[in-house]
Structure 1
């Protein structure tokens, strides 16, 4: 499921850039739909990482139901005319706590795994960088908006999100390498 999710992410980002830069129209409807897939995929991936620790599936369903209530109520409040940024912030905070919970589970785990070669550890690191950084960026949006134009006529927020994307995808790329090595070294 990871490769189709990354493909969806690329298509969403390219479409969003095309709408904003070339057609000069707002791209929030695309990101409103994408937010559903992002939350669903990331939540399921955390559930997948928690499975060895006997994590019940009911928490996944409960979280996604809560997310949907928050998401839909904010979209109705905005009359579907903007991006549900409060929902995205809440989702980011929940994912930060999910990352920290994963670290806690790893610390308590009696099975030693070298973290340098752990695909799940590096995936969670990438997610933590992105979601913690985006939470901080959203919380300081007013401050960042006061310093809107910088180099190349892009906003500071835009540059910060690009840096967060690079950090996340670098960690995820290394996680793919670790996973490849695990599969190559494991007996069939």
Structure 2
């Protein structure tokens, strides 16, 4: 039962929705959600195992995972921007800057801690990327009902999660003052669980919208 938590259940359910809705999608960017979410589930389970049964810090596992998280999320934003003449060089510049920060922080910590500063910068960048998507959608003359827009719901879920993560990281000292509350869970833990639920619900709905779009347009199927 220790492997069953809010995070693991929400991740696994989102993976199942992605598998059912996207496995026939012709767009590689959407189809890549299947292996990415599978990796997310596996990393979460390994992290729990290492923490609870091996009794050693599991930061190395999440240091490994954040590489895939950054590259995949950045690539998907680029995929969404491509229709608006977004240039590849900006994606390459960002990924290069991330790699420099990541390596520098690993060396500074002597590989002995989680790359928290790099993760915080990444969260801020993804928040800005989400807001930029809203901006270009507002300027777009092509009408699209947002209630059925897969990109809109994916970006909305991403914005909720990374904005919440940024706020939690900035107020981590304040939240630590109330570390132990009901049911022996910290405020920060509960907030991140809520952020996970919101993001994966939004992502799942985005996959369903993409599936409906693919069914109505043979070119996507």
TM bucket, shorter chain: over 0.9
Q: Which of the residues 100, 103, 115 maps onto 2:131?
A: 100
Shift of residue 25 of structure 1? 1.4
Separation in structure 1 between the aligned mates of residue 213 and residue 42 of structure 2, nearest angstrom: 30
**Pairing 1:168-179 to 2, within 5 Å after superposition:** 168-179=199-210
2:95 is equivalent to residue 64 of structure 1: yes
Give, in angstroms, the shift of residue 21 of structure 1.
2.2
Once residues 218 and 92 of structure 2 are traced to their aligned partners in structure 1, the CA distance between those partners, rounded to angstroms, is: 35
Q: Which runs of 5+ in 2 are unaligned?
A: 1-31
Task: For residue 54 of structure 2, give the secondary structure of its aligned residue in structure 1.
Answer: coil
**1:47 maps to 2:78:** yes
SS in 2 for 1:22: helix
CA shift digits 1:42-68 (9 cap, x unpaired): 000000000000101011100000001
What's the counterpart of residue 160 of structure 2?
129
1:10 alignment counterpart: 41
Which residue of 2 is the match for residue 141 of structure 1?
Answer: 172
Deviation, 1:102, is 0.3
Residue 166 (1) aligns with residue 159 (2) = no
The residue aligned with 1:87 is 118
> Helix, strand or coil for the counterpart of 1:70?
helix
The secondary structure found in structure 1 opposite 2:143 is coil
Q: How many residues are paired up?
A: 188
State the superposition RMSD in angstroms: 0.9
Partners of 2:184 and 2:48 lie apart in 1 by 15
Aligned equivalents of 2:178, 2:148: Cα separation in 1: 40
Which runs of 4 or more aligned residues in structure 1 lie more than 4 Å from their structure 2 counterparts after TM superposition? Answer: none
Give the Cα separation in 2 of the matches to 1:58 and 1:41.
16
Where does structure 1 lack aligned partners over 5 or more consecutive residues? none
Q: Does 1:34 align with 2:65?
A: yes
Aligned partner of 1:150 in structure 2 is: 181
Per-residue CA distance 1:130-168 (angstroms, 9 max, x = gap): 000000000011111111112222221111111100000
Following TM superposition, by how much is the alpha carbon of 1:19 offset from its aligned partner in structure 2, in angstroms?
Answer: 1.4
2-structure distance, mates of 1:77, 1:11:
28
Q: TM-score, normalised by structure 1?
A: 0.98
